[in-house]
């Protein structure tokens, strides 16, 4: 999916350096965004979750002519300290951050939210999917003396109920609120914080949700455009929000879902 489009090339990110967090494989949303930013001249440091992912991520990173790869587990303060120290040592300052990270256990992503959400599962989903963005926003802002831009990834399950999305919907609602508060705190430093709400896309994360494939089908069939959410649209929105095209945009949750989010009732059969 990620490779059936060619990101438009240009200079919109020329001279800008930043961090992309959350590439696991070639289908990751973070990878589509990274390809687009690189095609527009950005220099990117990639963080990845741990050694087991390095083998898969390295060839991707090298394929776009980059080589900065740093392990970072968002649940581990020492790992986060080391990652941001490494970036500071290398570049001194950055211009952008992409946070494309979430996790909830398979047991939580099925059936009843009320019945299946454990205290530990809730804590883990909120820690990895929400607190990590707050933590990254703080760390990144400390190395953005000239201002900058940050984005995170969310989904309609924050705003409306979606089968099986459960605790992740609760976490995404918190992530969207965190986006607005971070935008408020960092705005005076010239740092714009926004979120992209993408439609369902075929990635590792989607595979963890019971009925995830049907979410894609419904997203397509009910959407205004009658099509799947495309990586090029998500990556294009990221380019807009992270480049100077996005001037004056802050605290926004921008939907890239073929219009699915505005549908209240799907098309009806003729009476």
Q: What minimum distance in Å lies between the beta carbon of 98 and ligand NAD? A: 10
Q: DSSP per residue over the chain, as a string?
A: -TTSS-PPP-STTTT-EEEEE---STT-HHHHHHHHHHHTT-EEEEEES-HHHHHHHHHHHHHTT--EEEE--TT-HHHHHHHHHHHHHHHS--SEEEE------TTTSSS-HHHH--HHHHHHHHIIIIIHHHHHHHHHHTT-TT-EEEEEEE-GGGTS--TTTHHHHHHHHHHHHHHHHHHHHHGGGTEEEEEEEEPP--SHHHHTSTTHHHHHHHHHHHSSS-SPPPHHHHHHHHHHHHSGGGTT--S-EEEESTTGGG-SSPPPPP-
Q: Which stretch binds ligand NAD (CB under 6 A): 28-36, 60-68, 110-118, 185-193?
A: 28-36
Among 12, 20, 35, 49, binds ligand NAD (CB under 6 A): 49
Among the listed residues 217, 215, 216, 205, the one whose alpha carbon sits nearest the alpha carbon of residue 168: 205
From residue 59 to residue 78, the character string flagging contacts with ligand NAD as x (rule: CB under 6 A) and all else as - is: -------------xxxx---
Binding status of residue 37 toward ligand NAD by CB under 6 A: no
From residue 80 to residue 119, the character string flagging contacts with ligand NAD as x (rule: CB under 6 A) and all else as - is: --------------------xxxx----------------
From residue 215 to residue 234, the character string flagging contacts with ligand NAD as x (rule: CB under 6 A) and all else as - is: --------------------
Q: What minimum distance in Å lies between the beta carbon of 53 and ligand NAD? A: 6
Among residues 48, 131, 155, 181, the one annotated as catalytic is: 155
Binding status of residue 153 toward ligand NAD by CB under 6 A: yes
Subset of residues 154 to 213 that bind ligand NAD, contact rule: CB under 6 A: 154-155, 198, 200-201, 203-206
Told to judge if 165 belongs to the known catalytic residues of this protein, a careful annotator would answer yes
Q: 40 or 133, CB closer to ligand NAD?
A: 133
**18 contacts 191 by C-beta, under 8 angstroms:** no
Neighbours of 176 (CB within 10 A): 20
CA atoms of 235 and 7, how far apart (whole Å):
8
Among 2, 104, 128, 182, binds ligand NAD (CB under 6 A): 128
Q: 127 or 185, CB closer to ligand NAD?
A: 127
Q: 9 or 204, CB closer to ligand NAD?
A: 204
Q: 204 or 245, CB closer to ligand NAD?
A: 204
Kindly list the residues in this chain that would bind ligand NAD in the complex (CB under 6 A): 22-24, 28-30, 49, 53, 72-75, 100-103, 128, 153-155, 198, 200-201, 203-206
Catalytic residues: 155, 165
């Amino acid at each position: 999916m990620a490779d059936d489009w060619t990101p438009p090339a240009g200079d919109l990110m020329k001279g800008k350096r930043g961090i992309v967090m959350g590439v696991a494989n070639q289908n990751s949303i973070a990878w589509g965004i990274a390809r687009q930013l690189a095609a527009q001249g950005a220099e990117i440091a990639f963080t990845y979750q741990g050694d087991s992912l390095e083998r898969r991520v390295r060839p991707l990173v090298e394929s776009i002519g980059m080589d900065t790869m740093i392990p970072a587990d968002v649940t581990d303060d020492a790992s986060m300290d080391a990652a941001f120290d490494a970036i500071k040592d290398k570049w001194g300052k950055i211009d952008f951050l992409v946070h494309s990270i979430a996790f909830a256990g398979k047991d939580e992503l099925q059936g009843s939210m009320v019945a299946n959400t454990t205290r530990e599962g809730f804590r883990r989903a909120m820690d990895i999917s929400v607190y990590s963005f707050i933590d990254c926003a703080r760390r990144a802002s400390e190395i953005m003396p000239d201002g900058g831009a940050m984005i995170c990834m969310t989904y309609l399950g924050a705003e409306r109920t979606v089968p099986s999305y459960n605790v992740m919907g609760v976490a995404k609602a918190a992530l969207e609120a965190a986006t607005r508060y971070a935008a408020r705190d960092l705005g005076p430093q010239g740092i714009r914080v926004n979120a992209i709400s993408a439609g369902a896309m075929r990635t590792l994360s989607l595979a963890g949700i019971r009925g995830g494939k049907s979410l894609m089908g419904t997203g397509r069939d009910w959407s205004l455009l009658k099509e799947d959410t495309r990586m090029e649209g998500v990556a294009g929105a990221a380019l807009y929000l992270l480049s100077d095209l996005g001037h004056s945009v802050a605290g926004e949750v921008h939907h890239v879902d073929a219009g699915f989010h505005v549908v209240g009732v799907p098309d009806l059969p003729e009476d």
